[in-house]
Structure 1
Amino acid sequence: MTTEVRVPTLGESVTEATVATWFKKPGDAVAADEMLCELETDKVTVEVPSPAAGTLAEVIAAEGSTVGVDALLAMITEGAAAPAPAPAAKAEAAAAPAAAGQSVDVMVPSLGESVTEATVSTWFKKVGDTVAQDEMLCELETDKVSVEVPAPAAGVLAEIVAGEGTTVDASAKLAVIASGAGAVAAAPATAAPAPAAATAATGKDVEDAPSAKKAMAEAGISRDAVAGTGKDGRVMKQDVAKAVAAAAAAPAATAPAAQAPMPRGPVSADDAAREERVKMTRLRQTIARRLKDAQNTAAILTTYNEVDMTECMALRKEYKDLFEKKHGARLGFMSFFTKACCHALKEVPEVNAEIDGTDIVYKNFVHMGIAAGTPQGLVVPVIRDADQMSFAEIEKAIAEKGKRARDGKLSMAEMQGGTFTISNGGVYGSLMSSPILNPPQSGILGMHKIQDRPMVINGEIKIRPMMYLALSYDHRIVDGKGAVTFLVRVKEALEDPRRLLMDL
């Protein structure tokens, strides 16, 4: 029986695509839903899965071909054996245990909403190792969080499909476990080829999309000047268009700098031998990209003030033991600052708004982002509807989110949707800083170290515990008056916490 492989729906208003890459060739055995090829449109990259298991009999549309919606791409002969099984098929066959039905696939777990791929960062087991059910096999790294992958069954790790450094999509197979009676037989057969497979997976050359190569040649732009967003860093047609547009928009004098990062200076051989080069994690790359985007997009300005923490510290000292006994949570300063910010945001709503094109979107709620430093980098878990929460609820939420952040257990959903952010550099000893916006938010409050300083109080010099506050804001939407008013309201609420109870 023959099955047709056709172009899937490409999205609204998209009528054609270019065949970028074929992952299989005629004669290869294919499984149902296995990726056959990748199509490239003006907006997205679309992977085409196999509609049935069998053999890829014929490729109708070769790489570089332009095809319309529902066009015929290939033909699959169902149930027919391939004349010569592909290397991947041989490896999979070798990995299968002697007893049928006793191999278990290890798949990529749920990565969270809007996350489509991850990088295999570490394998805790190697081929041939015995594993227990739910034992950690490997760790995946996404743009935001690390995800541990447990063993779905007990047995022997028969095959590692995706080696360390491999980028996998949300439905990819990571490994194969031989369970039950076939486990012992499977381990020796697959122990030798696995390292080679991993090396091939991590060391393969990345082939740019044919249409991208053509576009680069026509534009006269070098491959190094284009940042690839396709699979494994593959350059797509839209990437070339962005690079050409950026080069055209930049002034002639600065064009070379806009196209490529500044090169390193000369390094002596002696110094080079003592250096260590480590690839940036996906999280660090995302942090770098988002912070630079914030600088390039928003008109960031920072205003400063200082707050006398005497009353907050006295209130905390008086009630912290009773608070912890009743609520089971420590009374910290973050709940005071969160409450003060929620109070000020109601008076200055533009600080809690965001720009969407030519519209301003005002939020009638406060989803408070609390920046947290982790070994992997800075993350910002979000406390939802913080303006509706009590001091105890805020403290419990901050403690729980902070622990999950340090353990790398935060989901993407827990770090999305924030409307305003608080960053506490004071825990590291920072006395003064200018925080950077967390797009698309329009404001971020920087807290700093509490330090005793001489202050003039009613004509007398007294020692007071003082903290500098910094509000960075997007001047496109927030005027100076609004920013200063916001910061003054926060200061007033912290210097006299009773104002929060009386909504003043």
Structure 2
Amino acid sequence: MSQIVEIKVPDIGNYTGVDVIDVAVKVGDKIAVDDTLITLETDKATMDVPADHAGVVKEVLVKVGDKVSEGSVIVKVEAADAATTTQTDEAPAKAAATVPAATTAKPVAVNVPDIGNFSNVDVIEVDIKVGDEVAVDQTLVTLETDKATMDVPSTVAGKVTAVHVKVGDKVSEGSALIEVAAASAPAAESATQDQKQAAEIKKQVAATPSAENNELRAEIKSHVSQAFGSSDIDEKGFEKAHASPSVRKLARELGVDLARVSGSGRKGRITPLDLRNFVKEVMQKVEHGGAGTALGGGLDLLPWPKVDFSQFGEIEVKELSRIKKISGQNLARNWVMIPHVTLQEDADMTELETFRKQLNKEWERAGLKVSPLAFIILACVKALQEFPEFNSSLDGNNLILKKYINIGFAADTPNGLVVPVIKNTDKKGLKEITQELADMSKRAREGKLKPQEMQGACFTISSLGGIGGTGFTPIINAPEVAILGVCKSQIKPSWNGKEFEPRLQCPLSLSFDHRVIDGAAGMRFLVFISQLLADFRRVTL
């Protein structure tokens, strides 16, 4: 007979009525010992509650938003030994009838689709497992590039018979993700994802030259001390860290303070990949020498100050979005590695604004509303054609001059800044650019841009025109060599030779890579754009 086991909330200290913020299992799931069932959150920390029995989940008794205490029943599980026990000799025919049949349908492979020119893309989430029923368009895995995250949906419906990827893997177009069939044979129990990754990390770390002679932990602690000022584990911080038991165990073995590791998992959970990246960063400093190597790009910078801000007053900790984490790293690299020069110029937009309002009336029936940015994009296309060194990229001692023009524009979204790219902009008119601007801006805010729609830019425009400002220093988006910043147009007095008259002036800020472009060329480029916007008829010349 089947044995149903209740798994309850274990000893969680003196806490009662603790919030359930995540439920990681559902009815029908196969679980192993130490698999996370739910995540709890107190006023001081989050904690995973692991399974203490393996088997098949028959009932889930909690949901997100519930409050639980020690002894609260989380799930009811058909114990693994009972679930796999065959029937007694008294009913062999019945037993044969209840054993799941072997796969009869030929499995269909689901592979990574076209994801642009990206390769070796990180798998950051796997949302399915063997035995799950999947539908068409259901998310299978989530990938992360240096510019965006993307969900990969299923192209077929059925039961998952094999999963070929795990969190931390790298995939490219065509890589096998899963196999799906109408029916499947029973799947063997496997170790949890975190446990498997932890084992892999141990192997990788052990293979590092710096880990010889069993000195790995001492070396890690030594260089953590150089980077952070101390190698001691903050026990309170370690306890509060949101991580699974296997990750905690591995962190202890490596002497890594989890309080210093940023979690990229759901609700800030520290994954084995996060721990591996932290160790890798420290080991890079061992390999290359110098405390500032990993944190400061070889500049021998002082360690980042670690301050307990709560000692000065009330604080709130808010995790950066994934987009801000990635873009922040790119911006820091670009600012440090590219010698920026920024020039300022005002563009007289008076006549152009009159023309824009006229067009908006004419295009109103078509539902189109042209923005000043559309005109600025066309002006930049003309300027890139006139000054080809601005449409280039630096590759060592070579300058790559591009014969195409793709314009990127910075789009403000709830999760941070992204840069959609309008392809072949030199072959498009004002109306088509207006349509693409509106469409891509909307999908950027909704997080629906495809990776290939955010790559291949030759030149980027960062517009704050809808907000304000009189100028700023935009950071170049490598491997581009220049970027144009735009602020809000303002009415200013302008001398016409006889008197001052009110004119609509738009502040422009051009940053460029001084290794490729000198100051005179930069100012000519900026003045050229300003002249085009002052008299847009010049675009046709």
Q: Answer yes or no: same fold by TM over 0.5.
A: yes
**Distance between the aligned counterparts of 1:262 and 1:181, measured in 2?**
55
Opposite residue 490 of structure 1, the aligned amino acid is: I
**Distance between the aligned counterparts of 1:215 and 1:268, measured in 2?**
41
Q: What is aligned with 1:336?
A: 375
Per-residue deviation, 1:302: 0.5
Per-residue deviation, 1:317: 1.3
Q: What is aligned with 2:144?
A: 141
**Distance between the aligned counterparts of 2:404 and 2:184, measured in 1?**
57
Instruction: Confirm whether residue 369 of structure 1 aligns to residue 408 of structure 2.
Output: yes
**Distance between the aligned counterparts of 1:400 and 1:160, measured in 2?**
35
Q: What is aligned with 1:380?
A: 419
**Distance between the aligned counterparts of 2:530 and 2:517, measured in 1?**
19
Q: Deviations over 1:392-411 (max 9, x none)?
A: 23223333433443343434
Instruction: Confirm whether residue 211 of structure 1 aligns to residue 253 of structure 2.
Output: no
**Distance between the aligned counterparts of 1:279 and 1:133, measured in 2?**
32
Q: What is aligned with 1:482?
A: 521
**Distance between the aligned counterparts of 2:403 and 2:140, measured in 1?**
44
Q: What is aligned with 1:354?
A: 393
Relative to structure 1, the CA distance from residue 494 to residue 270 in structure 2 (aligned partners, 3 Å threshold; closer, same or farther) is: closer
Q: What is aligned with 2:63?
A: none
Instruction: Confirm whether residue 499 of structure 1 aligns to residue 538 of structure 2.
Output: yes
Is the 2:383–2:525 Cα contact (8 Å) retained in structure 1? Answer: yes
Q: Deviations over 1:388-430 (max 9, x none)?
A: 3222232233334334433434344333332211111223434
Q: Deviations over 1:208-266 (max 9, x none)?
A: 2523324897997845479999994263999458633896999xxx9998367403213
Relative to structure 1, the CA distance from residue 417 to residue 130 in structure 2 (aligned partners, 3 Å threshold; closer, same or farther) is: closer
Is the 1:324–1:331 Cα contact (8 Å) retained in structure 2? Answer: no
Q: What is aligned with 1:35?
A: none
Q: Deviations over 1:359-400 (max 9, x none)?
A: 333334422222222334322232233223222232233334
Opposite residue 264 of structure 1, the aligned amino acid is: K
Q: What is aligned with 1:309?
A: 349
Instruction: Confirm whether residue 115 of structure 1 aligns to residue 119 of structure 2.
Output: yes
Q: What is aligned with 2:77?
A: none
Q: Deviations over 1:79-115 (max 9, x none)?
A: xxxxxxxxxxxx9xxxx96442467776655543233
Q: What is aligned with 1:267?
A: 309
Instruction: Confirm whether residue 276 of structure 1 aligns to residue 317 of structure 2.
Output: yes
Instruction: Confirm whether residue 197 of structure 1 aligns to residue 206 of structure 2.
Output: no
Q: What is aligned with 1:69?
A: none
Instruction: Confirm whether residue 426 of structure 1 aligns to residue 465 of structure 2.
Output: yes
Instruction: Confirm whether residue 235 of structure 1 aligns to residue 280 of structure 2.
Output: yes
**Distance between the aligned counterparts of 1:455 and 1:238, measured in 2?**
60
**Distance between the aligned counterparts of 1:444 and 1:358, measured in 2?**
21
Is the 1:212–1:235 Cα contact (8 Å) retained in structure 2? Answer: no
Opposite residue 291 of structure 1, the aligned amino acid is: L
**Distance between the aligned counterparts of 1:260 and 1:110, measured in 2?**
43
Relative to structure 1, the CA distance from residue 364 to residue 231 in structure 2 (aligned partners, 3 Å threshold; closer, same or farther) is: farther
Structure 2 gaps, min length 5: 1-82, 84-98, 228-260, 262-271
**1:44-83 to 2 correspondence within 5 Å?**
none
**Distance between the aligned counterparts of 1:145 and 1:315, measured in 2?**
37
The residue matched to 2:466 in structure 1 has which SS? Answer: helix
User: What is the TM-score of this pair, normalised by structure 1?
Assistant: 0.63
Q: Deviations over 1:10-61 (max 9, x none)?
A: xxxxxxxxxxxxxxxxxxxxxxxxxxxxxxxxxxxxxxxxxxxxxxxxxxxx
Q: What is aligned with 1:258?
A: 300
Instruction: Confirm whether residue 319 of structure 1 aligns to residue 359 of structure 2.
Output: yes
Q: Deviations over 1:268-296 (max 9, x none)?
A: 37968x53353652x43332222122222
| Root-mean-square deviation over aligned CA pairs | 4.5
Is the 1:209–1:236 Cα contact (8 Å) retained in structure 2? Answer: no
Is the 2:292–2:303 Cα contact (8 Å) retained in structure 1? Answer: no
Opposite residue 113 of structure 1, the aligned amino acid is: N
The residue matched to 2:502 in structure 1 has which SS? Answer: strand
Q: What is aligned with 2:236?
A: none
Per-residue deviation, 1:433: 1.6
**Distance between the aligned counterparts of 1:159 and 1:464, measured in 2?**
67
Is the 1:215–1:240 Cα contact (8 Å) retained in structure 2? Answer: no
Per-residue deviation, 1:316: 1.0
Q: What is aligned with 2:168?
A: 167
Structure 1 gaps, min length 5: 1-90
Relative to structure 1, the CA distance from residue 243 to residue 472 in structure 2 (aligned partners, 3 Å threshold; closer, same or farther) is: same
Is the 2:140–2:152 Cα contact (8 Å) retained in structure 1? Answer: yes
Is the 1:301–1:472 Cα contact (8 Å) retained in structure 2? Answer: yes
Relative to structure 1, the CA distance from residue 121 to residue 431 in structure 2 (aligned partners, 3 Å threshold; closer, same or farther) is: farther
Q: What is aligned with 1:394?
A: 433
**Distance between the aligned counterparts of 2:404 and 2:306, measured in 1?**
46
Is the 1:354–1:362 Cα contact (8 Å) retained in structure 2? Answer: yes
Per-residue deviation, 1:434: 1.1
User: What is the TM-score of this pair, normalised by structure 2?
Assistant: 0.59
**Distance between the aligned counterparts of 1:447 and 1:386, measured in 2?**
19
Q: Deviations over 1:96-145 (max 9, x none)?
A: 9644246777665554323313243584x899876533234554433222
- Length, aligned pairs only: 391
Q: What is aligned with 2:48?
A: none
Q: Deviations over 1:133-171 (max 9, x none)?
A: 3234554433222222334444567998878xx323217
Per-residue deviation, 1:469: 0.6
Is the 2:382–2:539 Cα contact (8 Å) retained in structure 1? Answer: yes
Relative to structure 1, the CA distance from residue 362 to residue 198 in structure 2 (aligned partners, 3 Å threshold; closer, same or farther) is: closer
Is the 1:435–1:472 Cα contact (8 Å) retained in structure 2? Answer: yes
Relative to structure 1, the CA distance from residue 292 to residue 202 in structure 2 (aligned partners, 3 Å threshold; closer, same or farther) is: same
